[in-house]
Amino acid sequence: MGGPRNQELDETRLALRLPVLRRRFPTIEDLERRAARRIPRFAFEFLQGGAGDESGLSRNRAALRSIEIVPRYGIETQGVDPSVELFGRRYAAPIGISPIGMDGLMWPGATELFARAAQRMNIPYLVGTLATARIEDVARWAPDVTWFQLYPLAADDHRISFDLARRAQEAGAKVLVATLDVPVRSRRPRDLRNGFVMPFRLSWRNTLQVAASPPWLRALARRGMPRFANIEAYARGGDPAAFVGAHVGGGFAWDVLARLRETWRGPMLVKGVLHPADAEKARAIGMGGVIVSNHGGRQFDAAPASVDMLPAIAAAVGRDMTVILDSGVTSGVDAMRALACGAHSTFSARAFMLALAAIGDDGARHMAASLIEEFTLALGQSGLRSAAQARHALVRHATAWAWPVRTGDAG
C-alpha cells in the first residue's frame, strides 16, 4: 500500500471523496444497483443469494425493518458517544465486518481492504477461514481489531481446525469465533445455476460475464487471482479449492469446542446460535459470548430471522456473556434496533461487500463511515447519549420469539 507519504496522500484523497460517496450512495439499494453493473453476475448472485427459496434471507430484512423504537425528546443529546467496549477494547461503534467466504472473487483484494478499513475506522474485522489472505497478513494490516472466524475441518479429529486456531493466536488475533451453523453444506439455487461450486471453474458463460465487467477485471489485474490463502498450507501442493470442497464442514461438536476453549488464550465466541439452549451450552463450556446468526439466510431457509431470536438469547445469557447480532444488518439504524433488542454489538457482511463491489477499493471505508454516522444519528434521534443506553430503549418487536415455547425446544 506504499510508504508513509503515499498513505498520507491516500488519506487526504479519501477524506475528500467520502462526502461525495455519501451523497451518491446514501442507501444499500444504491450500492446494489451499481454493484450489479460492475462485477460478474455469478459473483453478484453469490453475494446476494441465499439457501433454498431464500425466505430466510428476506425474513432477516423484514424482521429488522419491522422493529420500532420509541424516541424520547427534550433531552440534551450533544456529545453522543457511539463507541462500545468489547472484551476490554473500545471500538468506534457497535458495528463490525463479518466474513464472506472467497471474498476476493466478488472484489479482488477484499480481505486486505476490509482489514485496513477496519483498523483505520477502529471496528472489529472478523476475518474468515476462507478469506483470500492469510490470517498472519490480516493481523499485520489490522493489529488492533482482527478477530478470526474458524470453520470446522472435521477430518483427523479437527487437526487442521486446531492448527488454524494456533496460527490465529500466534498472529495476534484478539478473539476466536467458532462457526456452529455449517454442519452440512447448503443448497443455493443461484450458485447451482451459475456453476458456482467447489472447486470453481469458469464456464464459457461465466467467462463472458467476466469480460463484461471491466472494473472487476482492472481490480483483478492489480490484486491477482483470489485464492484460499489460509488453506494453501494444508493442500500439500494440490488445489486449495478442491481441498476446501472435500474437507470444510462436518460441524463442531460441543466437546470439540470445549477443547478449543481450553487451548485458546483469550476471548472465544460461537457464531450461528439461534436456540437459547445452545447459548446456555456455550456459557457452560466457558465461551465469552455468542453471535446470533442464521448465516445471513445462506444455510437453512426455514431458520427464524436472527433478530427474532435475539431477545430470548439475550434474556438467557446476556448478563453473563457478550451477545452479538449478525445477519440482515445493512444500516446504522439496524444496529440501533439490534441493541434495543438485547445485543451488545453487530456485524455486517453484505453491506461491506456491496460497497466494495459498487465503489471499489474505497468502499469498505465508505460503508464503515456511513454505518457509524447512521448509528450516531439514530442514538441522537432516540434521545440517547451512548451505545450502552441503546440497550434500554423502548422497543416494539412484534415478530420476536417468546421463550420458552411449548414444543421443539428439546436440548
List residues with catalytic annotation: 295
Alpha-carbon gap, residue 289 to 102, rounded angstroms: 26
Report yes or no: 279 and 312 within 8 Å, Cβ to Cβ.
no
Task: Give the side-chain half-sphere CA count within 13 A for 187.
Answer: 3
Cell numbers for 135, please give them. Answer: 490470517
Q: Which residues pair with 354 in a beta bridge?
A: none
CA 233 and chain centroid, separation: 25
| Alpha-helix runs per DSSP H in 285-327 | 306-317
Largest CA distance in the chain: 66
Alpha-carbon gap, residue 32 to 28, rounded angstroms: 6
149 dihedral zone (left: phi>0; alpha: psi -120 to 50; beta): beta
143-162 burial, b at 16+ Cβ within 10 Å, e below that, comes to eebbbbbbbbbbeeebebbb
DSSP-derived secondary structure for 26-52: -SHHHHHHHHHHHS-HHHHHHHH--ST
Closest CA to 106 of 131, 124, 128: 131
Alpha-carbon gap, residue 190 to 209, rounded angstroms: 15
In 352-403 the beta strands, taken as DSSP E runs, fall at 394-396
In 268-397 the beta strands, taken as DSSP E runs, fall at 268-273, 289-292, 322-326, 345-348, 394-396
160 dihedral zone (left: phi>0; alpha: psi -120 to 50; beta): alpha
